[in-house]
Structure 1
Amino acid sequence: MSVKVAVVTGSNKGIGFAIVRGLCKRFDGDVYLTARDVGRGKKAVADLEKEGLKPHFHQLDVTQPKSIETFRDYLKEKYGGIDVLVNNAAIAFKADATEPVAVQAKETLFVNYFSLVSTCEILFPLLRKGARVVNVSSSAGHLSRIPSEALRNQLKDPNLTVEKLSALMQQFVDATVAGTHAAEWGNSTYVVSKVGVSALTRVQQRLLNDKGIIVNSVHPGYVDTDMTSHKGPLTIDEGASAPLYLALDAPDSVKGQYLWRDSKIVDWEGELPGPY
């Protein structure tokens, strides 16, 4: 009987760290904390070991296909597959960032959307039957955040493909260079990146339906992390609650969905619920 394995990307701090903590307490198998920086990753593992937990560490930079491929080969050789994949790695520019919007758009979409796509393309072949994928989105990832009805219709198209979605995301990046993005896309590069993640989740579920694999996206809540400049009211463990529910507890009927931080399914195409 092969050992089960769970992987959390970008998990040396914040919500990802708390998801690893929760998995270590309850998941029946090996749990991998991954980080771009080896020193930070190993320190995070040591911190959890002080709590009596036993996470494993592997270096992973989701922006570097070679790094993802190295990790894939390691997992394939040691475990033969993946049972839980939590795509948590992401960046966000601060509200007072001075970089031009075109720079912010290129970097944010590269990490939060395009690197997620490449991570999934490389790791998805390892997903075992019954595997669960959790894409960490945001309240910013709700479809209502996009001003243009025409764009919203394209993003919720039941026949949307990864290629078409990626082309739309690139159109946004190009529009920021031209300075024509605001009317259709709005002004937040983070919003567009996370709407992309939420839309991607639905496409991925459709592609994996016949393989018995479950993919969902989740808004973890407004959490006290570096990313929110520690303005969020929730603890990282509270932020990990809904992602852990999807990874471990949600019924198999919950798939291709967008969940709120209270672990309730939200209509991604409807009105934005609150509070965040």
Structure 2
Amino acid sequence: VWERLVLVFASALSVATLALDNGLMRTPPMGWLAWERFRCDIDCEHDPKNCISENLFIDMADRLSEDGWRELGYVYVNIDDCWSSMERDKQGRLQPDPKRFPGGIHKLARYMHDRGLKLGIYGDMGTHTCGGYPGTPMDKIMIDALTFAEWEVDMFKYDGCYSNATEQEQGYPFMSKALNATGRPIGYSCSWPAYQGGLPPKVNYTQLGEICNLWRNYGDIQDSWDSVLSIIDWVFENQDVLISAAGPGRWNDPDMVS
């Protein structure tokens, strides 16, 4: 059945338009992302409250839904790197680490949806993610897009570690078409500009607006005021380029400083 779905999906993909016509993120998305605070902490035995696990994301969902954040527009709860198993399953699909996500990603998505929230997930177009987990290179894009749709994920962040400029030029637009072709509205966050310096002529913001809902312009935020200031300074210095690139459904992402 899965192989048949991939064939049908490939047929749909071949006629899909380039533009990201998903109707999402007409205003800038707001929510919570795990990376800055929790990084790649997978030691649930010794650090159960802070490790990357379903419990962490359930707790954050409870905070957004119970403490008034959801009503202010903070609706995304986004998983970042280090969530998956080190191996794909027998069908070639990504799978969550079974010890840290025993309920699976679909169940976690349902938990979010039951509380009026949305679930985001992370992948990387290289052979591996930045944290060393299985990547989503070109030959895995279709199957991973289908998997995320099957899990009822609402947003996908596509990183670029362990990939080169040519792969990024092909992979970021292809993933956009793949997500669209699933039939599920999935917000698409691209890290492409951050790997190309964030500015024209290397970065084509017109093209980005056609394939991505959100794009990283700059490097990772760190847990320091100096890091925050460096991002603010860069955005200020380049605001003419950045402001003109943004609009409903297509936004600059200075890595959680907005």
Return the TM-score normalized by structure 2.
0.34
Which structure dedicates a bigger proportion of its chain to helix?
A: 1
